[in-house]
Amino acid sequence: AQSVAQPEDQVNVAEGNPLTVKCTYSVSGNPYLFWYVQYPNRGLQFLLKYITGDNLVKGSYGFEAEFNKSQTSFHLKKPSALVSDSALYFCAVREHNYGQNFVFGPGTRLSVLP
């Protein structure tokens, strides 16, 4: 069965500093991996996804994520955090050719402090 873990409920970082939001996954086959962001009282917005190829994926708003197959991780990163990045971040996985079902992690709340 597929599963996703986000080991940190909350991440605090100062504005201008680099940020990392961690995600590890478990699938029996090849994974498709996604990051979504949720701002208060809004739906989820797509940030980036890993399908195949280069392990470093670049997405919206300056975010990037690195796929590490040996560590089964897909950590979200940004070189310089903005206060406006403060939101709830979800990692999701879908197994290749598994059909419709995405599995989401529990979410990590990012707070960027001015």
Partner 1 sequence: NAGVTQTPKFQVLKTGQSMTLQCAQDMNHEYMSWYRQDPGMGLRLIHYSVGAGITDQGEVPNGYNVSRSTTEDFPLRLLSAAPSQTSVYFCASSSRLAGGQETQYFGPGTRLLVL
Residue numbers at the binding site for partner 1 (CB under 8 A): 4, 9, 32, 34, 36, 41-46, 49, 51, 90, 94-102, 104-107
Instruction: Tell me how crowded residue 52 is: count the other CB atoms within 10 A of its CB.
Output: 9
Rounded to a whole number of angstroms, the minimum distance from the CB of residue 14 to partner 1 is 26
CB 82 within 8 A of CB 15: yes
How near is the Cβ of 45 to partner 1 at its closest, in Å?
7
Cβ-based nearer residue to partner 1, 93 or 112: 93
Query: With respect to partner 1, which residue has the nearer C-beta, 45 or 111?
Result: 45
Handedness of CA 97, 90, 82, 12 (dihedral sign): negative
Strands 44-50 and 31-38, how do they pair? antiparallel
- Which of 8/15 has CB closer to partner 1? 8
The least CB distance from residue 69 to partner 1, in Å, is: 17
Q: Closer to partner 1 by CB, 70 or 100: give it.
A: 100
